[in-house]
Amino acid sequence: MITEGTGSVPVLRLLLLLSRVSFTDKERQEAGALCRSFSDWRLFTDLAIRHGVAALAWQNLTDMQLDDSVPEPERIILEGIRLKSIARVTFITDAVAEIVAMLESAGIRVLLLKGLSLEHAVYGSRGLRQMSDADLLVAPELIFTARDVLTKAGYKSQPMKSPLYRHIILDLGNHLPEMHRGGMSVDLHHRLFGPQGTEMVREAIENPAIIQAEGRTFNVLPPQTAFLGLINHIFKHEVKGEFQLRLYTDVFALIEKYRDEIFTRNLQSNIENSGIESEVRIVLSILKQSYSLEIPAISLALTDSEKERVNGFMEKLRRPDSIIPQSPRSKYLDILESLPGIRRKLIFVASDIFPSPGFMKKRYNCQSAASALLHYPHRLGKAVWIFTLLLSKIRGK
């Protein structure tokens, strides 16, 4: 756990300065002065790694000829991460090109999301956007067909909790269970904002933006939709107790390149339709404060709660492991309440109490389905927990 106090302030400032794609002369001068003014490169390297920006920071240091300031041990670490990022991005791009070709042959349009899209649309196809998997978007009505295509190609899916989940899976989260093949992980998304913003996502699928990457053509989200999706993604991570500067850098870099396509007349209505008004104000206020980003005044944080989130950003940056995840109780109730209709709620609860043998094997690390069956009595405890949870919810009303 990182516990350094005020001595970490120059480190945090340098980290923020290096977490961008382009620089003004003033920013270059400040970065140079900071590199010469402190020696805690171990803390800097640790934070850069934790925040997923080590490859980007190292490339910027070398581009500005500031890498000589870095001690040898940290130089080796940062350069190694940079090389691994290049290799990983190349591997994922090649694998996704194959996936896209397979899905398009089956009549399924697919859009690149998040890291891979940003790597080629914003970060310049240089391996600067560290990533571990690929996120792809297809139309909801084609999501199971897309899954079947990948299954035939050798991709194996994480088991659904229950066969009944097929009836409610499109109401749970934004993507299907992760799929794997040969070191490649893929998330097939069917929406971006939960039940909100469906028309905007549909429009993005029907009229995507186009990018070129390594001699190939890919579909991606239009900039404004990508902007809103990235902000929603930030808070999805924070609910799970995860915080990375990388996600804020993504939004900043996207705005830097596509400002006029993001801040349009219809932005406010799309924000409202996506149900993330507060989240947008918080993120834009943080970017104004930490990256000196110019934003419309209407987008600044308004409520005390929003201002508290903005003011707490630097502490989260210093101590990314300090984020408290949403409690299991709160998460379970949120999922249950998000499901439309009694039937879907009952399916969710029944699936949780009586999951599939495949899920049980993975959950309890069993070698066979027979041994997994022995763990089903443990699920009765989950039934009691659910009953108690629902009862307290009813009494609280």
Averaged pLDDT, 48-58: 98
CB burial readout 338-358, b (16+ within 10 A) else e: ebeeeebbebbbebbbebbbb
Predicted confidence at residue 123, as pLDDT, reads: 96
Q: Which of 66-80, 267-281, 345-359, 383-397 has the lowest mean pLDDT?
A: 383-397
Q: Which of 67-81, 155-169, 241-255 has the lowest mean pLDDT?
A: 155-169
Q: What are the sequence ranges of the domains in the chain?
A: 6-81, 82-322, 328-396
Averaged pLDDT, 251-262: 96
Q: How confident is the model at residue 64 (pLDDT cuts 50, 70, 90)?
A: very high
Predicted confidence at residue 166, as pLDDT, reads: 83
% of the chain residues with pLDDT over 90: 67
Q: How confident is the model at residue 27 (pLDDT cuts 50, 70, 90)?
A: very high
Output the six-digit token pair for 73.
């041990």
Check if the beta carbon of residue 353 is closer than 8 Å to that of residue 379. yes
| DSSP code of residue 1 | -
Check if the beta carbon of residue 61 is closer than 8 Å to that of residue 18. yes
Output the six-digit token pair for 364.
């309890």
Q: How confident is the model at residue 4 (pLDDT cuts 50, 70, 90)?
A: very low
For 281, how many CA atoms within 13 A lie in the half-sphere containing its CB? 19
Q: What is the pTM of this model?
A: 0.91
Mean residue pLDDT across the chain: 90
Host H or E run for residue 218 = strand 216-220
CATH topology of domain 82-322: Beta Polymerase; domain 2 (3.30.460)
Q: Is residue 150 helix, strand or coil?
A: helix
Task: Write the pLDDT tens digit of every residue in 203-239.
Answer: 999 999 999 988 899 999 999 999 999 999 999 998 8
Calculate ∠ Cα 60-296-21, nearest 5°.
Answer: 10
Distance CA 118, CA 275 (A): 23
Averaged pLDDT, 258-284: 94
